[in-house]
Every structure is written in C-alpha cells, then in structure tokens.
Structure 1
Amino acid sequence: MCKQKNLLAIIFLLFGTVQLCFSQTYAYYKTRKYIKNYTWLPDFKLKASGLQFPVFDDMESLGQSFLLPNQSILNFKTKSDTPEKISSLNLVLRFFVQNVSIAEFKITDNQSHELKRTVKFISQGYQPPLFLNFDSLSAFDKKNLKIAITFQNLNTKNLARFIVGDAWLGDSKIEKHLSPSKTFMDLPYSNPRSTSSVQLTPFESTGQYLHFPTDQYEEHYKSNVFIEDSLRKPEEILNDVFFSLLRSYPFYNERNLDKNQILTKAEALLREKSSLCDKVAKISHFLNTELKDPHFSIQSKCSLQSDKPLITPIYCYNFNDRAIVSAILDTELEEKIPLGSEILEINGKRISLSKEFTVDHLHQLLKKTPGEKMIVKLINPAGITDEVNYSLKPMYSTSKKYSGNKGDTYTFLNDSTTYYKINSINDQTINTFISNLDSINTKKNLILDFRNCGGGDFLAGARFLSSFIQKPFKYFDFEKLNSNKLDSVIVNRNLSPSNFRENGRIAVIINKNSACVAELLAGCLKKERANAKIFGSESSIGALAFTYQVVLPNEEISFTTNAISYGKILINGKSIETKGIVPDVLVKLEKVEDLAPYEDKVLRAAVNGI
C-alpha cells in the first residue's frame, strides 16, 4: 500500500522522487562528497619534485607535486561559497615522505590563534590521504588560515623529503542514492521500475582506464548496497534479499548448476520456521553446499553472540586425496600427532577426501567449541596407527613457524632476486610497492607471491600492472549480461614514472586460494611480459567477478555477492570460473616439508626457474 504523506515527505528528502506502492524496502548506496572550503596556493618559490601522485580510492592522480622544506607554511585561499560560521575543518593532504618519522601540523590565523596535531609515520613513501581534524575553530579568523608543517628525520644522518601533491581544508558528507541494479527494480523493492528515473554518470577511473564499456556507469560499481525498511520484520527482508540475489546469480552455467532446482530448494528453506540466527546459519550452509562460490556468502553478528567460537588446533593439507596434518597449534599435541600424520577418522567418522568432501569440510569436523572432547584416529609418519583423545582449549595462537610472512612486504632472497608477498590488492598495497621500486629494481629477478591472496580492488590492480607494462593494454574482456555482447577494459599507459625494470624477470606464485584480481594480475603479467612465468602446486580458485556487499537494516546481516554484477569478466575471451589460472610450472608437493612456510618447494622452484 502507498504510505501516508508525512512518511512520503521523509523518503523524498532521502532519495528524491521514487515510486512508493506495495512496499517500502529500499536498496541504496552511499557516496562521500568532498567540500573544499579552502584550497592551497603553492608558493612560487617551492621546488617541483617531479613526483606524480597515483590515483587513490576516489581521488584523482596528480601531475605535479612540491618539495616542502622543514617548517614550511601552507597558505589557503577561501572559496567564495565558504560559510561564515565554521566550527571545525579537516586538513586533507596527499603527500610522500622519505626518512620522516614525525610531522607536526599547526593551524594559525592572523589573530595568534593556533591548534596543533601530530602524526607518526609507520611506513615511508606514498601515504594514504591524510584527514586531520582541527576542531574548535570558532574564534579563528577564517579568511587568514595557514598550516605550518614541521617534521623530524627518521635517521638524522640522511636527508628527509616531504613532498605534497595537494592540500585543502574542508569537510565531507555522506549522500544516499538509490541503487540502479536491476535486482532491486522490482517488488518487493521500492526502487524505480526502470533506470530512467535514476541519473547515471559515465564510469570515472581518474585516467586509469583508456577504455571502459560506454554503457557501464559509475553507479553500477558502488560496492556496498544498503537495504532499508523500517516496517517489515528482519526475517522477511532477509528472505527477500536472499531470494532476489539467487534469481540474479549469473554463474549457474559455469558451475554446472540447475537454476530452477536451486531456487526450488531455496524456497523450501525459506518457508521453514526458525529464528533469525538459525535462518542465517541455514542460508550459509545452503550457499556453501549448493553454490560453492567463494564470492557468494552471508555474514552476521549472530556468531558474535556466542562466547564459544568454533576452534581447532589441527590443520591438514590434501596430498593425493590423503588428509595429512600440516600444522599443530598445541604444543601438548605435537608429540601425539606429529606433522605428516594422516587423519583416518574424526569422532568416529571415516575420512575420505574427494571433490565433494574437501579439506575445508574436514576442518569443519575438527572445529568445535572450547571444552569439547575430540577423538582423532591417524597413521603417524612411522606407519603406526593411533587414536588420540584431547579436549579443545579456550583458544590457540598461531606461532610464527606456521604463519609465515603475513605482511605485504619485500625481501632480497639473493644477489639477483627480490621476493614480494602480496596478501591483498588495494591502493595502499600498491603505494607500498611503488614506493620501494627503486630498491626492488636493484635486482633483476622479482618473485610476486599471490598465494592466499583473495583479490581486492580492480583499479588498484590496473595501476599495479601499469608499473610493469609501459603501454596501453587489455585488462580483461567484459561480457554484458543483458546482451551477451563482448567489450574490453583497456588500461592507460603508466601515469607515473614508477616502473619495474624492462629487462627484469618475473615469477608469479599462485595457489588454490589465489582469487579474483590476483588471478587477473597473474594472467595479465603472463600475457604482457615475455619474461613472466607462473609457478604453483595447483591452479588458482577460478572466481573472477565484481563483488558487492549487500547490507541489511541495522547492519547486523550482510551478503558478499557477485549476483548484482552487470557483466562477466573474461580472460582472452574465456571465463575462468571454477577453472582458474593454470601454472606454467606445476610443482608437485609430496610431503609436509614441501609446504610454505616450511621448506617451501614452490618458492624454491620459482627462485631456480625464474
């Protein structure tokens, strides 16, 4: 039914003109609008640094930057539409530091008012945009604001560099916009029935892409979609959103799934009477067992309500369909269950690894609540069959010998080889890599380790690749879902002077947990660099898609999903869904010691074969 006028007025204020009948469930995304009240006027005496600032998140690339001497003064010009009364401002700074440990920022006016803020740097190089709040500015003369910057050297024996690309004083605000996704255009949603009433803008990559499909818009790629409904029950909203996403899911064929059968099973599940948390658990099990797509899952705060999370001290690896113990997080169990033991039974259940029953399923059997008793039957490396009883402790810590290298960082393996571990692909990861290229380029060989990297940001991935490929190149093919027509995304030439050496050799390491953008980067490097080679003990997972977070009211339940994508991402015109990237050099693992972080047979193969 249509709602009363006072409710209509509120919704019109939030969303603009929409159709409101039969339902009032809305799907919208948020954007941040920057309000630049004061802009920086670089002093003509400042020396240009020659450093260009890359794209960061929704901030554009910067073609020029300036080297600031210590104790510099930044002067700001007031914009004509700046309000007279401003109680607080944020200093927003795009900058690069070298050999700088601490910087102090002091805002002053011509009335001797001042406020100070101090920033400590945990890393050098390109910094993420700094948002520094200056509150209580009511007494300041707003027409004469200045920022004094003073910094300390990390090493007093070396020179420090503080380079600024842009600076402004102002604020930002969050704005709501209806999602244009076709998933949310029909009942039970109150979004418009067609995109004609939603203003769409061309996709903006701030110069990173040379070509992007012309009928793909900025609004199509807002990764967080929020569901809002103040009248309906949470269970009803959850049911509607889940079923809508299943209807829109685009990979039934690639995963050899019968769509009608999946939807029929889902309808039966949603008809079951259960609590909200039980419903979430059932949906999670359904997605894990029916779709088996790492890009489609449900998360909730229900799991946080339990004081006893599921844990295990035992982890295994699949060696020729045998579940071999690869890590023990309990020192008391290490003697009873040596590394390399084969798990035969868990609490009386016989273990037989297959495509249907994987190591992940085995770990689900091993994970119980603290205090529960476990019985594990095994064969140890000496060939002796044993049965081990133990009780789960309140918690287990992962020691360094099992965790390996968790950070995005680099190290020199020998005189000619740099090793770089990348766990996620985002602007800061890429900034860190680019900031260290001078050092990395002192070695001819580079190993990029994407093992267990679940992907990340596509624009950041394009920028990363452009530091290896100094020309425009095809990033991926794009198959439009509404027409099945093919188009491509072309990356622009490198917009910064940071490049990996042209004669450098590249080894890319992947495993079954390398996904999405990590797979895309591996494929592009192999195609575009003649001296790039992929190493691994297995193919990557084969899950390449734009993903979204669909957040339900009160933000207690959310879906991670690829179901509202506008197209499929193809590599060389083909989908890698469920197939993955196949290594050029397939390294066979035969024993626990072959794994990382033990002797790491795959890494040794990359070092020797690069």
Structure 2
Amino acid sequence: MKISFDNRMFKKLGVLIIFIIKAQIAISQTQPIYYDDLNLDIFYDLAKVRSLKSDPGFYFPEYEFFEDYKLKGITLVANRPNNFKDSIWRDRSTTKLKLKKDTSVFFMKYMVENINTINICVYQDGVYWYKEFVINEQGYQIPINEKITNWKRCELNPIPAAKIHLTERGNLIVSMQCFSDKTKASRLVTADLLIHDQISVKKSVNNSFFNQALEAPTLIYKKYNKYYSSTIISGSKEETDEAQRSNIYLQGLSDRETEINVLTKIITTALDRYPFYQERQLDKVRLRAKYQSLIQKYNDTQQICKLIDELKKFLSEEFKDPHLQLLGNTEECKEKPDNSKKPRRPFNLYQINGQLFVAMVNDQRYSELLPIGSKVLSIDGKSTDTLLKKAFPFEAKQNSTKEFFSGIAKPAGDSTVLLVNTQIGPRLVTVKYDGEFKLRSGSQGNYDFKVIKSNVAYVRLSSWTLDVYTRFINDLENINKSKKLILDLRGNGGGAALSVFRLLSLMVNHNSELYETLGEDSSNRHKTVIKSNNFRHIRGEMPILVLGDRNTACASEMFIQSLKYNRDNVKVIATENTAGVLASRFDIHFPSGITFSNNCFTSKMIFPKVGCLENVGISPDIKVMIKSVFDLKPYNDVVLQSALIN
C-alpha cells in the first residue's frame, strides 16, 4: 500500500512538533522555589550592651524552626510591690545605619511576671515608631518579630517618661514602658532584643519530585546532618525539607497554557509517587488511566475552569485523602464573592447508631420546635434511612457516631423542612436560613489549660501550632502538681511536627524513637529520634489520658502513637479510631492562585510495633459508647467523664 502526504498534512505535523517542543522548553524553564528569611544589618543588639548582665535560672523555650533554647536572661524592668519608678527602660545605639521601610525588624524573646501591657518605642531622626503589646498570659511569651515601619508613627514621644535629650537626636533609641498591678512585684526579662534588617530571599528546591515532574537532570543528594531543632537527634533530609519548604512556589510560567501543562505533569508525578495505594486499597493502574482520560478530554485552554473542577473532584472522590487535593482557582475561574450564597447551618445533626438526631440549634427561633435529642425522620421529604445510607455507605449501624452535613448547609434565602419525632409526636418544622445564629460559646483559641475536678490537669489543643510548647511550659508547674493529665486532641487535625517533637521531649525520659521513613533513594530507612528535655519535664509516674476522635489526625496521631510507645501510663479514650491520615504535606503554589497540596515528596511513616497507620488510625484503649446526643460535647461529654474516672 502506498501512503501519500500532501503539504497540508506536513504543515499540521510541523505545527504540532513545534508546539510540543515549545511546551517542553517552557516546562523545563519552570523553577520551584521557596522563601527564606535572611538577616542583614544589625542596628541594635542588647547582648552587646556591656553594662547589662545576664542572669541564669531561666529557660526561654525554642519557638521558630532552627532555633535553640536559652538559659540566661537580662532583666529590663523589675518592680517591688507599690513601687513603680522602674517601669521604664531605655537604651540607645550610636549606629549610623538608618531604619529601612519594609525590612527593619524588631525582635524580642522575653518573659513577664505580673505585666499586662508593654509599650515599645523605637526612635530615629525625629520619628517615633510605637506599638502597644497586650499580655494575655504570664510567663514566657511568643517572640515579637515585627516590621517597625508597620507600627504607629508619631511626631511626639509616646513614652514621655523615656526622655530623649538633644544630644541623642542622632542616635537610635529603644524604650519600653510596662503596666501591671502595682500591688504585686513585676518584671520583664529578655533573652534577645535585636533591631535588624531582614529580607526574604528565593532559594531553589532540591527534590527528586521536581526532577521527575519537570524532566530536569537528576540531582545528587548529599547526606544531611543539620536538623531543624536541637530536640531531634536523627531524622531525614525530607523532614528538614518540609520544615523549610512546605510552601513551594513555581516561577518561570509564562502563560496560562504552560501553567496548566505543568500542573498536569506535577499531578501525574504525584499519582506515580503516591505512597498509600496499598493502605487505602486503591487501584493505581485504574486511577492513572482515569486521570489521563480526564486531562485529554479537557485539553483546550478554553476548558481550563472545567478541567480544574474535574481535577478537584477526581482527587477528592477517588483518594479521600485530605493531604492530596487541588485548591483555589485561576483568576478567570473565580466567582465573585456573594455573601447571600454563603452556606449557613441553623442546626446541627448527628448520626448515632444508624439514626439521626438534633444535636444543636443555632437559631433561637427554633429552639422549642427542635428540642435537642429529637429524632429526625426526614429532611426535605427524603427519609433519613435513605440519606444516611448515601452519606455513610460504609458505616456500621451499631456503635457509630458521626456528624451529618449532607444537604443542611444552605444560603440565607433558603429553607429546610424537617420531620422530627418529639415527645408529643411527629412534627414538621420549616427552618429558614435568614435568622441570626448564636453559636454555643466554648473554649476559645488553640490552647486551653485548666485544673478540673479532683486536681486533674486538662489541656485542650485544637492544632499543633508553634506556640503550644511555650504555653505548655508556662503551665508545667501546675500540671506537675496535679494527680493526672488529660490531653484533649479531639478535632485536632495536625500542624507542625516540630511542635509535637518539642512537647514529647517533656514527656519522655530517654532518647526516643518515634518512627522510620524510607529515604528518597529507597535504599535505606531513616529513624526519627528525639531527646528528652533536660530542663523541664513532666514527672515520670503521672498518668496521661489522651482524648481523640475520628478527626484526630496527622501530627496528633504521630504524638499519640509515639507517646504510647515511649512512656508508661498512657491511655487513649475515644468513641472510635483516629483518622489514619499521617504524612508530611507540601503545598505547590501556582502564579494563577491554584495550590496543589500533596504528600508525595515523603514516604510513609513506619511506627515501632504497629507499622503504618494510614487509613487505620489508633484504636482507643478505652472505647466510649455514645447513646444519645447528650453524651456528646458540649453536654455531658462522656468521653471526658470517662477520663476523669480512669
């Protein structure tokens, strides 16, 4: 058979080849970067003031990554009861350097006793930069690290008692004024006080993921010996990468078409390297084929919005992994915000043992019509049996408790018809979404400490932020006076692993192995080992009871499993297993506003004795049965009650 080609076919083929070459060149020019802070000129350094002596006996805890603790402090303000003459502190620097807009930073690592407000002023060249800092908790504080030119600018001295003399007008002056209860002794102690220039610099990301995704030359990985915390004795390079580079930005993307090509290649690489196909019982071949079919179907730049929507749906529905998802939208795909369409929930429903109940009413107009604990028979004419089977297809009817969300969040102009079974029989209630919602008040913020019944220390953590360690240390004396510690991690979906490591260091009394990870080259395993804190510690015999639920995930699960393995007298109390979602997450940010969150840079965590916990979670040592909504938090809270009696 003779095959002939006309000129038009050659032209089309040529255009296609040129397009492919251009696309490949554009992709190869894409550079993944991260931002790191670089400290430059120092205007003022308290440590170099020879007239001030540092005192031992302190423990200023680490806060940021790559930061160490300090055991000495300089007292700036100290007051005896009813004596406030020393509430002012000031010093000067003869530096010739000038403060710069957007880069000059005030940094102070400090602790306070009986001080409720600190006013800080920085003066130079006739201008006063001033800010008031309100102290909410006594003890060691979260370090101040702020751009000075973002503070209030004043032409007159905002701290008149800290006088600036004519001969000092050419100097840089730092002054502070503290306010407290005059009847009590007070003091302000610092470990560091710096005024310096700080800029954000771009650094290249060195990771084999991008070598594969962007088809760049394979880089050689050197042995990594510097960890991001002195708490860590050994770990892996990829964990230190996560500490520095959890947010990665792509530059060099010249147009939207190139950006979408890079996005699809990065997701292709993620699907190839996804570590949990076995644990989540996923068919890798089927999912990759479905993905390829999807991106081929929407390969036109005019279909970008549809492609992004379909990719979001594909990742969400197929993987059901909160660490693997596509977020945000390109500018042309964003919808204008419309508060009238924002979903609202005037009531909360819970599924308990295969039945649906009213758990909370947020619109007081319906508090009597929808009594707490009422059984819901139907929603908008659909039976709850049908709705529950669709929402929870794999849930067992017995010993199952879960909040029900499907179809009850609607915009302000909408309504829902509930058929509820009350004490006087079935009742139809039409709930409108246009009212004012009053949510039940509870503990605010990320961290909460209190001493409850019978001298029990109770700490609630809603997220593993870096301030957890500092705040826990401030409460450590009261915790050690208590007969046991309850750690409430219900709903805690994770956070910074560094926060976990630091808190664990207070609870273990020896070098402790947490887990192993497989190296990037797949040739060996890296053990993550932390050391015990030599200066602050929870007493060894104290019982620790950890409260969890199905939303206790990631860093929280790492903490629980490591604590159980390395310490006696630890029990987990919950209604069910924890989430079973443990991985380091990296966010790849595209110029258009899309973010691809994934857990494909690092390998799975292997815990001693139990192995990988992905999609399994941690089983409670004491399993609590929920029999009615009144057993839930914030009512009787039988999980907490169980911890109090065990």
Q: Is 1:604 matched with 2:609?
A: no
* Structure 1 gap segments, 5+ residues each: 1-18
Match of 1:181 in 2: 207
Match of 1:314 in 2: 347
Q: Is the 8 A contact 2:513 2:528 kept in 1?
A: yes
What CA distance in whole angstroms lies between the structure 1 residues aligned with 2:223 and 2:98? 34
What CA distance in whole angstroms lies between the structure 1 residues aligned with 2:529 and 2:362? 46
Tell me the alpha carbon deviations over residues 69-91 of structure 1, each in whole angstroms, 9 at most, x when there is no partner.
4234456696xxxx955545322
Cα 1:22–1:430, aligned 2, differ >3 Å: closer, same or farther?
closer
Cα 1:112–1:591, aligned 2, differ >3 Å: closer, same or farther?
closer
What CA distance in whole angstroms lies between the structure 1 residues aligned with 2:211 and 2:167? 49
TM-score by length of 1: 0.85
Q: Is the 8 A contact 2:449 2:458 kept in 1?
A: yes
Cα 1:486–1:199, aligned 2, differ >3 Å: closer, same or farther?
closer
What CA distance in whole angstroms lies between the structure 1 residues aligned with 2:335 and 2:549? 29
What CA distance in whole angstroms lies between the structure 2 residues aligned with 1:126 and 1:409? 16
Cα 1:173–1:567, aligned 2, differ >3 Å: closer, same or farther?
farther
What CA distance in whole angstroms lies between the structure 2 residues aligned with 1:583 and 1:327? 26
Match of 1:521 in 2: 559
Correspondence for 1:412 among 441, 451, 460: 451
Q: Is 1:120 matched with 2:120?
A: no
Match of 2:179 in 1: 152
Q: Is 1:48 matched with 2:78?
A: no
Match of 1:366 in 2: 408
After superposition, where does 1:94-493 map in structure 2 within 5 Å?
Answer: 94-107=109-122, 115-135=129-149, 145-153=172-180, 155-186=181-212, 189=214, 192-196=216-220, 202-213=225-236, 216=238, 218-219=240-241, 221=243, 222-228=245-251, 229-233=253-257, 235-273=260-298, 276-300=304-328, 302=334, 305-307=337-339, 308-349=341-382, 350-353=386-389, 355-356=392-393, 362-378=404-420, 380=421, 382=423, 384-393=425-434, 396-400=437-441, 407-480=446-519, 482-483=521-522, 485-493=524-532
Tell me the alpha carbon deviations over residues 114-149 of structure 1, each in whole angstroms, 9 at most, x when there is no partner.
654432223322222212444499x99999645333
Q: Is 1:37 matched with 2:69?
A: no
Q: Is the 8 A contact 1:481 1:568 kept in 2?
A: no
Q: Is the 8 A contact 2:76 2:190 kept in 1?
A: no
What CA distance in whole angstroms lies between the structure 1 residues aligned with 2:219 and 2:424? 66
The percentage of aligned residue pairs carrying the same residue is 22
| Of 115-124 and 381-390, the range deviating more from structure 2 | 381-390
Q: For residue 596 of structure 1, what is the amino acid of its counterpart?
A: K
- 1:598 deviates by 0.5
What CA distance in whole angstroms lies between the structure 2 residues aligned with 1:143 and 1:532? 61
Cα 1:182–1:303, aligned 2, differ >3 Å: closer, same or farther?
farther
Equivalent position SS for 1:68 = strand
Q: Is the 8 A contact 1:551 1:557 kept in 2?
A: yes
Q: Is 1:503 matched with 2:529?
A: no
What CA distance in whole angstroms lies between the structure 2 residues aligned with 1:356 and 1:77? 71
Equivalent position SS for 2:358 = strand
- 1:279 deviates by 3.9
Equivalent position SS for 2:407 = helix
Q: Is the 8 A contact 2:419 2:428 kept in 1?
A: yes
Cα 1:330–1:542, aligned 2, differ >3 Å: closer, same or farther?
same
Q: Which has the larger radius of gyration?
A: 2
Q: Is 1:63 matched with 2:70?
A: yes
Equivalent position SS for 1:205 = coil
| Of 427-436 and 54-63, the range deviating more from structure 2 | 54-63
Q: For residue 456 of structure 1, what is the amino acid of its counterpart?
A: G
Q: For residue 120 of structure 1, what is the amino acid of its counterpart?
A: V
Cα 1:183–1:304, aligned 2, differ >3 Å: closer, same or farther?
farther
Aligned length: 576
What CA distance in whole angstroms lies between the structure 2 residues aligned with 1:595 and 1:56? 35
What CA distance in whole angstroms lies between the structure 2 residues aligned with 1:260 and 1:85? 61
Tell me the alpha carbon deviations over residues 240-269 of structure 1, each in whole angstroms, 9 at most, x when there is no partner.
443333333211111000011112222333
Q: For residue 330 of structure 1, what is the amino acid of its counterpart?
A: D
What CA distance in whole angstroms lies between the structure 1 residues aligned with 2:458 and 2:27? 58
| Of 230-239 and 427-436, the range deviating more from structure 2 | 230-239
Equivalent position SS for 1:48 = coil
Q: Is the 8 A contact 2:275 2:603 kept in 1?
A: no
Cα 1:203–1:248, aligned 2, differ >3 Å: closer, same or farther?
farther
Q: Is the 8 A contact 1:66 1:165 kept in 2?
A: yes
Q: Is 1:552 matched with 2:598?
A: no
What CA distance in whole angstroms lies between the structure 2 residues aligned with 1:182 and 1:386? 61
TM-score by length of 2: 0.80
- 1:504 deviates by 2.1
Tell me the alpha carbon deviations over residues 31-88 of structure 1, each in whole angstroms, 9 at most, x when there is no partner.
112225243315455351421222212352133322414234456696xxxx955545
What CA distance in whole angstroms lies between the structure 1 residues aligned with 2:608 and 2:434? 46
Cα 1:490–1:171, aligned 2, differ >3 Å: closer, same or farther?
same
Cα 1:42–1:580, aligned 2, differ >3 Å: closer, same or farther?
farther
Match of 1:25 in 2: 30
Cα 1:363–1:571, aligned 2, differ >3 Å: closer, same or farther?
farther
Q: Is the 8 A contact 1:95 1:163 kept in 2?
A: yes
Q: Please give the root-mean-square deviation of Cα atoms over the aligned residues, in Å.
A: 3.3
What CA distance in whole angstroms lies between the structure 1 residues aligned with 2:377 and 2:490? 28
Q: Is the 8 A contact 1:96 1:164 kept in 2?
A: yes
- 1:484 deviates by 6.4
What CA distance in whole angstroms lies between the structure 2 residues aligned with 1:605 and 1:360? 19
- 1:513 deviates by 0.4
Cα 1:484–1:452, aligned 2, differ >3 Å: closer, same or farther?
farther
Cα 1:367–1:118, aligned 2, differ >3 Å: closer, same or farther?
closer
Q: Is the 8 A contact 2:352 2:402 kept in 1?
A: no
Q: Is the 8 A contact 1:311 1:395 kept in 2?
A: no
Q: For residue 68 of structure 1, what is the amino acid of its counterpart?
A: T
What CA distance in whole angstroms lies between the structure 2 residues aligned with 1:199 and 1:144? 47
Equivalent position SS for 1:421 = strand
What CA distance in whole angstroms lies between the structure 2 residues aligned with 1:113 and 1:551? 39
What CA distance in whole angstroms lies between the structure 1 residues aligned with 2:261 and 2:343? 28
Q: Is 1:532 matched with 2:570?
A: yes
Match of 1:14 in 2: none
Q: Is the 8 A contact 1:49 1:67 kept in 2?
A: no
Equivalent position SS for 1:177 = strand
What CA distance in whole angstroms lies between the structure 2 residues aligned with 1:77 and 1:493? 43
Q: Is the 8 A contact 1:203 1:217 kept in 2?
A: no
- 1:235 deviates by 4.5
